Amino acid sequence: MKDKRNKIDDLFREGLGKLNQAPPPDLWERIDASLPSIPPARKTPLIPRRFLQTGASAAIIAGAFILWFILSKSNQESSQTETIPIQEQASGTTSTTTGHTPGLYPDQNVKIAESYIGSTDKNNRANDIAEKAAKASDKNHDIQPNSKAASGEIRPLSGAADSTNNNYPDPGAEKQTTYQTGLAGLRLDFTNWLITLPAGQIYQENFLSFNAGLRKTPNPLRSKRGAIPLIGGVYASRDMIYYGTGHHKQSRTAGFSLSTFKGPWEFETGVAFNISDDNGKFDVNFSSFDSIGYYNKVVSFSPDPQIPGRVIFNTVMEGVYDSVGHKVETKTANRYTYLQIPLMAGYRIYADRLFTISLKAGPVFSVLLASDEPPVIFSREGAILQSIDNQTPVRASTNWQIAAALGAGMHITRSLTLQLEPTYRSYLRPVYQHHRNSPYSIGLKAGLLYRF
C-alpha cells in the first residue's frame, strides 16, 4: 500500500502535480517541420470504396457487353439493309438496289433481297442478284416504260449515288425519306452516306491505315483444326501497391505468359518476376555531450562588514555538460523480389480481325525470393550511437492475390498481338507478418503475344 503520509511525496505532488509551463516559442516550428505532411483523413464514404470499384468494373463489363450486343445487332440490321451493287452482265449497265427500299416495284425487290440473304457466296450472290435484277429490269420495261428507272434502276434511300457513273445524286432528283429511330437509324444514315461513295474510294480513304493485308487474312483467333492453340508472350507491368494508412509504393513486374483459348474462353498462366519497393524503419538512439545548464560555484565567502552575522558568498557561473539522449526515426529504401505465378481465366467479349477485348480474373501466387534491406548508416559529429532498433515489419514469404483485368489486344500480324491490360489486384493476406491490412494494387500491363 502506498505511503500516502510521506511528506516528501506530498511536497512534490502538491508543488509539481499540476505543473504547467509554456514551452519555448520556437518549439512549434520544430514540431511543425518534423511533422509529415498529413494527408486529409479519409472520410467514411457513403458507398465503401470496394463497392465503388466493383461497380466500376461491372459498368465496364456491362458497357463492353452492350457494345458487343449493339455491334452484333447492327451487323444483323446491315445484312437486311445492305445496298447491293448489281452489275448487269448482259447490257453492261449497273444498277443499285436495297432490300428495304420501298421501291416502285416491291415484288421484284423482295425477291432480290431474299435471294441475297439466302446466298452465302458473295460473288455467286451478286451474280444471282444481277440476273434477277436484270429480269426485274425487263419487267420494269414492260410495266412502266416512261419511268426514269428504265434501265433497271431502283432508287436507293435518300442521297444515294447513281452508281452507273459514280456521280453524287442529283439534288433535284426525287428523294425518299425513311424514318428510323435510334442506332438502327444512325446505321441506315451511315449506310446511305456510304453508298454515295464509289467502292474504291471508300477503301482508299477509310481503310488504308487498317488494311495492311489483314482484311484478306484469316481471323487470327480462329484455331487450326485438331490443334490446341498456344499463345506465348512477354510482358512488363508497373503497379502501385496501396498498403493502407496512406502508405503506397511502386512495383515492377516482367514475365512470360502462356495462354490458350477455346471459343470465347481464355486460360492464361506463366511466370513473372516482381520487384516491390518499400521502406525500412529504424529508431536510432544516440547521445551527444550537450550543455544542460549551469550552476553558481561558491569560490569564497566572507562576513558582511556592514551587517554583523551575515555571510556574503562570492560565486562564479560554471557550465554543466552531460550526455543527452536523442532518438531519431530513420527510413531506408528496401526492395523485395517475388516470383509470381498467375492462373487466369478470361472471356473474350469482343473480337474482330484487329482487336480483341477480354475480361480476365484469377488467383496469383507469389513467393518472396530475395530481400534487399540495407542497414542504417549512422554518422553524426560528436554523437555516440547507443542503439538502432529495427522497426521494419517482416514480410510474409508467400501470398495469394486475386487479380481482375480488362485485356485489350491489337493484332499486328496474324501471329503477333500487342497487349495492354489494366489490372486490379486484391491481396488475400497482409504482406507484413502480424499486420491486419491486406493491400491492393492497380497497374498497367503491356506485352507482346505470339501465336504458335
x-or-dash string of contact with other proteins, 304-323, rule CB under 8 A = x--x-xxx----------x-
Size of the site for other proteins (CB under 8 A): 50
CA of residue 174 relative to chain centroid, distance: 52
Which triple of cell numbers denotes residue 153?
434502276
The one among 32, 121, 205, 381 contacting other proteins by CB under 8 A: 32
Residue 146 engages other proteins in binding (rule: CB under 8 A): no
Which of 369, 133, 389 minimizes the C-alpha distance to 285?
A: 389
> What CA–CA distance (Å, rounded) separates 376 from 354?
53
Among 45, 172, 293, 382, binds other proteins (CB under 8 A): 293
318-357: which residues touch other proteins (CB under 8 A)?
Answer: 322, 324-327
Asked whether position 387 contacts other proteins by CB under 8 A, the answer is yes
Tell me the closest approach of the beta carbon of residue 432 to other proteins, in angstroms. 18
| CB-nearer residue toward other proteins: 23 or 200 | 23
Stretch that binds other proteins, among 35-43, 102-110, 179-187, 363-371 (CB under 8 A): 35-43
Residue 445: C-alpha distances to residues 240, 272, 285, 422 (Å): 12, 12, 44, 6
x/- track of binding to other proteins for residues 40-79 (CB under 8 A): xx-x------------------------------------
145 near other proteins, judged by CB under 8 A? no
Q: Can you tell me the distance from the alpha carbon of 282 to that of 330, in angstroms, rounded to the nearest whole number?
A: 5
- Residue 244 backbone class (left: φ over 0; alpha: ψ -120 to 50; beta: rest): left
Bridge pairing between strands 383-390 and 265-303: antiparallel
Report residue 293: phi and psi, to 5°: 145, -155
31 binds other proteins per the rule CB under 8 A: yes
Q: How far is the CB of 249 from other proteins (least distance, A)?
A: 19
Q: Could you tell me which of 90, 124, 97 has the C-alpha nearest to residue 112?
A: 97
Three-state SS across 308-339?
Answer: CCCEEEEEEEEEEEEEEEEEEEEEEEEEEEEE
CA-angle at 167, arms to 138 and 208, nearest 5° = 115
Site for other proteins in 4-23 (CB under 8 A): 6-9, 11-13, 15-23
Which region among 3-11, 48-56, 121-129, 199-207 touches other proteins (by CB under 8 A)? 3-11
Residues found near other proteins in the complex (CB under 8 A): 2-3, 6-9, 11-13, 15-24, 27-28, 30-32, 34-41, 43, 285, 290-293, 304, 307, 309-311, 322, 324-327, 386-387
